[in-house]
Structure 1
Amino acid sequence: MKRVRTSTLLVGAAAAAVAVPLALSPIFQSSDSETAEPVNDAQEMSLGEAAPDGLVIGSAVAGGGHHHDEDYPDPFTGDAPYRELLATEFTSLSAENQMKWDHLRPDRDTYAFDDADAIVEFAERNGQVVRGHTLLWHSQNPDWLENGNFGADELRAILRDHIETVVGRYEGRIQQWDVANEIFDDNGNLRTQDNIWIRELGPEIIADAFRWAHEADPSAELYLNDYSVESVNAKSDAYYRMSQDLLADGVPLHGFSAQTHLSLQYGFPSDLEDNLRRFEELGLGTALTEVDVRMPLAEGAEPTEEQLRQQADYYLRTLEACLNLSSCGSYTVWGLPDKYSWVPVTFEGEGAATIYWDDLTTKPAYDALLEALVDAS
């Protein structure tokens, strides 16, 4: 199995893609175009098909949350071309919001599984694996949980029941679970105030969550997951130390994943591969789980040729880091196309973060990823 690509600069597919004059190349057509034909209609392989053995290529499934424009309330059930693209282009799917607490648990006594079930069943029909996201997090928790004034024993029982019920429901059907998500702040300190679980139950609840998840599905790979951990820094160092401690205590931790939400306003995390390699050397799997590359855009503006070239370079280099690591078995882009992206709602003045235009034609970033996967196979 070939898993190495030597080029780390944009000299291949992405460079070739942007060599065509802007007015003539369909990959630069406006996202409002209704007549453009997708440039990958004639390609022989999808991203998932091009990937080497042992690597799945995934996308987040839009919907179920508060990130999207009201014109697109539920893309997964209401946009047939989008669903077809998810089915044919990728070998892994992640629920963007449909498996988070506020979506699954409208009240304490109710589990709302319909949307999560639909994603898992869709993936199974199309021969795809699923990443579960997420079990223990400080954000997107329902009000009844955050404001319930539960005692420690009751709160612990609520979390255990949730993990056992959710993970158990999908036993044998979820490849990887983000068990603990974003538990450190940017300075590498545990979120002891804004994370209800850590605040009320102490840091040892993290190990318990992994144990409960493993008991509910011994076949699932269990991950720590966070943003801004692509480089060696205080935050990733904190995860490295925690990983060592959890493993030393026999906790069923199987992997560490970097979300990889990047922006052209900041430099590329050039030590991404080295950072993940140290987790690999602990015996852990690694993954890039929420990859997107946003850029500054004035309202109504289209990306420039140079922005698209730089974006393609960033995407390419994230994939190369994964390909160069035997431990990296999952590479996931955080949704598509741009109209379904969380970025414009969350980062004012930024957008165009995905690898697809709104008419589902591909950007140079897509072509860069495809060529890298073909070369690695």
Structure 2
Amino acid sequence: MEHSTRAVIRPALARRSRTTALLLVTGLVASVLSLAAAGPAGAAGATLGAAAAEKGRYFGTAVAAGRLGDSTYSGLLQREFDMVTAENEMKIDATEPNQNQFSYGNADRIVNLARSQGKRVRGHTLAWHSQQPGWMQNMSGSALRSAMLNHVTKVATYYAGKIYAWDVVNEAFQDGSSGARRDSNLQRTGNDWIEAAFRAARTADPNAKLCYNDYNTDDWSHAKTQAVYRMVQDFKSRGVPIDCVGFQSHFNAQSPVPSNYQTTLQNFANLGVDVQITELDIEGSGSAQASNYERVVNACLAVTRCAGITVWGIRDTDSWRSYGTPLLFDGSGNKKAAYTSVLNALNAGSNPQPGVIDPSAWYVLVNRNSGKALDVYGLATNDGGRITQWTRNSGANQQWQFLDSGSGYYRVKSRHSGKVLDVPNSSTADGAAIQQWTDHSGVNQQFRAVESGGYVRLVNRNSNKAVEIQGSSTADGANVVQYGDTGGNNQQWQLVRVG
């Protein structure tokens, strides 16, 4: 998210003795609104998005531009969800109706609305055998391959920096027991077409997560699941840029939630990719439907690299299979038993443990008190750039790598700027600002990660002070400083792996 227009926050009053004054003068309204929306730190989330965020995950929905004028629909979208997928508006026929003539109007409506509400966006989809415009359906061979790669490049470039994850390729394997690729016009351009699409997407948008997305891959024993697994395994072994695998997870009585669903998610995650439940809907009603939704949520919570869940629509009447009443809200927007089971499952789940810090990984650091992310203010790249908290958007300026300094200490490097967290002038004072600075491996740039019940406290090697949000603020742009290690919620950070 672009931060250059943020108002500059005045230096906070001296902490502890003047905390009350600080909150009254600069943060009372923000604090009240935040508490009303999310409750106190560690409390149950009141909405799907808030409850999922407490567990380091997202909870999203598919959105149709044509329904945004419906106040019930848009109200539920704003209140409940923190990730958005365009239902049809970013598919090939919508974004390139005529060859090399691109149309983004309805997709932009969805993307811009989501970002204005602090939500992230999943891009769906760049390359698919279905919903191709007529001009593409009539192409083949090298001309089709070139047109497909041009589409991937142009669309991913247009939205670069605005998309959390792309479904780069959708539904490329056929159903049944063969484990074969789908016989599509794209497949007939050569078996390497999927790899080519992923490489083009990485070049066009280096910071978006790149996913392969498919249906009927939920059961670990199925040939289609195994075939996708082998492809991902091959891509990872050869350095093909793939970051995540999407499971559509459309369930009904004929295709129920498999008993090995969690095993499937975990086995893919073990390949070193995130797993995402991308198009969840479960036909049914009442307690049976609620129980099935609960099983899916619990499976995701049990797999550390399950990044989140997206349901494919908001109300039953919005669903592509409305006859099966498969969603969490009825046609009038009322919460169903399935909604309650999902919310309760999210709130009952444990916070993910940080485990062993992986120096090759990228993490978003989410503050336990505020739920906001550690952030390089204003997308700065200069020495001395401010470090603040900001609503989580998982942009490169909110992604951090732990560089091992030995003896249990790390330098914490920004993906955006390449600079590391630094205490200016090696200060040992309470309230000293945390800034970014060129990495020189100084002790004022080294922090030990102290486990704190599923969170970590970052304690500076030079000052022995902990990194905290000044004044326990919950406001965007609040300063990040060092202070004596008290173990408070505003000194605890959740490490959410994003790459």
TM over 0.5: yes
Higher strand share: 2
Structure 1 pair 81/192, CA: closer, same or farther in 2 (3 Å)? Answer: closer
- Which one-letter code corresponds to 1:372 in the other structure? A
TM-aligned CA deviation for residue 143 of structure 1: 1.2
> Does the aligned pair in 2 maintain the 1:181–1:226 contact within 8 Å?
yes
Q: Secondary structure at the match of 1:283?
A: coil
User: 2:372 maps to which residue?
Assistant: none
Structure 1 pair 44/211, CA: closer, same or farther in 2 (3 Å)? Answer: closer
> Does the aligned pair in 2 maintain the 1:226–1:257 contact within 8 Å?
yes
Selected match of 1:146 from 112, 128, 137: 137
Q: Secondary structure at the match of 1:185?
A: coil
Q: Secondary structure at the match of 2:309?
A: strand
Kindly provide the CA deviation profile for residues 234-286 of structure 1, in whole angstroms up to 9, marking residues without a partner as x: 01100111011111221001111210000034432111110111111111100
Distance in 2 between the 1:274 and 1:127 partners? 33
User: 1:56 maps to which residue?
Assistant: 58
User: 2:76 maps to which residue?
Assistant: 85
Distance in 2 between the 1:335 and 1:236 partners? 25
Selected match of 1:327 from 271, 289, 305: 305
- Which one-letter code corresponds to 2:191 in the other structure? P
Alignment of 1:280-291 (within 5 A): 280-291=269-280
Q: Secondary structure at the match of 1:289?
A: strand
Note if 1:218 corresponds to 2:206: yes
Structure 1 pair 159/46, CA: closer, same or farther in 2 (3 Å)? Answer: same
User: 1:117 maps to which residue?
Assistant: 108
Q: Secondary structure at the match of 1:356?
A: coil
Note if 1:129 corresponds to 2:123: no
- Which one-letter code corresponds to 1:62 in the other structure? A
> Which range moves more in the overlay, 222-231 or 257-266?
257-266
Distance in 1 between the 2:296 and 2:317 partners? 23
Selected match of 2:283 from 284, 287, 294: 294
For the aligned residues, what is the CA RMSD? 1.8
Selected match of 2:316 from 323, 338, 345: 338
> Does the aligned pair in 1 maintain the 2:180–2:224 contact within 8 Å?
no
Distance in 2 between the 1:109 and 1:222 partners? 23
Distance in 2 between the 1:44 and 1:146 partners? 46
Q: Secondary structure at the match of 2:297?
A: helix
Structure 1 pair 371/143, CA: closer, same or farther in 2 (3 Å)? Answer: same
TM-aligned CA deviation for residue 153 of structure 1: 2.8
TM-aligned CA deviation for residue 316 of structure 1: 0.7
Selected match of 2:293 from 301, 307, 315: 315
Selected match of 1:259 from 238, 248, 252: 248
Identity of matched residues, %: 38
TM-aligned CA deviation for residue 81 of structure 1: 2.2
Structure 2 residue runs of 5 or longer lacking an equivalent are: 1-36, 352-499
> Does the aligned pair in 1 maintain the 2:274–2:306 contact within 8 Å?
yes
- Which one-letter code corresponds to 1:359 in the other structure? S
Distance in 1 between the 2:171 and 2:47 partners? 31
Kindly provide the CA deviation profile for residues 131-151 of structure 1, in whole angstroms up to 9, marking residues without a partner as x: 11111111111111102x45x
> Does the aligned pair in 1 maintain the 2:55–2:346 contact within 8 Å?
no
Note if 1:239 corresponds to 2:228: yes
> Does the aligned pair in 2 maintain the 1:264–1:311 contact within 8 Å?
no
- Which one-letter code corresponds to 2:269 in the other structure? E
TM-aligned CA deviation for residue 105 of structure 1: 1.7
> Does the aligned pair in 2 maintain the 1:182–1:227 contact within 8 Å?
yes
TM-aligned CA deviation for residue 189 of structure 1: 3.6
Distance in 1 between the 2:288 and 2:100 partners? 48
User: 2:160 maps to which residue?
Assistant: 171
> Does the aligned pair in 2 maintain the 1:264–1:310 contact within 8 Å?
no
Note if 1:368 corresponds to 2:341: yes
> Does the aligned pair in 2 maintain the 1:184–1:235 contact within 8 Å?
yes
Q: Which TM-score applies when normalising by structure 2?
A: 0.59
Distance in 2 between the 1:265 and 1:356 partners? 22
Note if 1:45 corresponds to 2:46: yes
Note if 1:75 corresponds to 2:75: no
Structure 1 pair 46/341, CA: closer, same or farther in 2 (3 Å)? Answer: same
Distance in 2 between the 1:139 and 1:338 partners? 24
Distance in 2 between the 1:293 and 1:106 partners? 32
Distance in 1 between the 2:181 and 2:101 partners? 27
Q: Secondary structure at the match of 1:196?
A: coil
Distance in 2 between the 1:141 and 1:265 partners? 29
Distance in 2 between the 1:138 and 1:235 partners? 17
> Does the aligned pair in 2 maintain the 1:230–1:275 contact within 8 Å?
yes
User: 1:185 maps to which residue?
Assistant: 174
User: 1:106 maps to which residue?
Assistant: 97
> Does the aligned pair in 1 maintain the 2:62–2:312 contact within 8 Å?
yes
Kindly provide the CA deviation profile for residues 128-182 of structure 1, in whole angstroms up to 9, marking residues without a partner as x: 11111111111111111102x45x3322221111111111111111111111111
Structure 1 pair 250/143, CA: closer, same or farther in 2 (3 Å)? Answer: same
User: 2:190 maps to which residue?
Assistant: 202
Selected match of 2:148 from 154, 159, 181: 159
Q: Secondary structure at the match of 2:206?
A: coil
TM-aligned CA deviation for residue 363 of structure 1: 0.3
> Which range moves more in the overlay, 101-110 or 129-138?
101-110
Note if 1:228 corresponds to 2:222: no
> Does the aligned pair in 1 maintain the 2:45–2:51 contact within 8 Å?
no
Kindly provide the CA deviation profile for residues 261-319 of structure 1, in whole angstroms up to 9, marking residues without a partner as x: 00034432111110111111111100100000114xxxxxxxxxxx4111111111111
Q: Secondary structure at the match of 1:229?
A: coil
> Does the aligned pair in 2 maintain the 1:137–1:182 contact within 8 Å?
yes
Matched pairs, number: 306
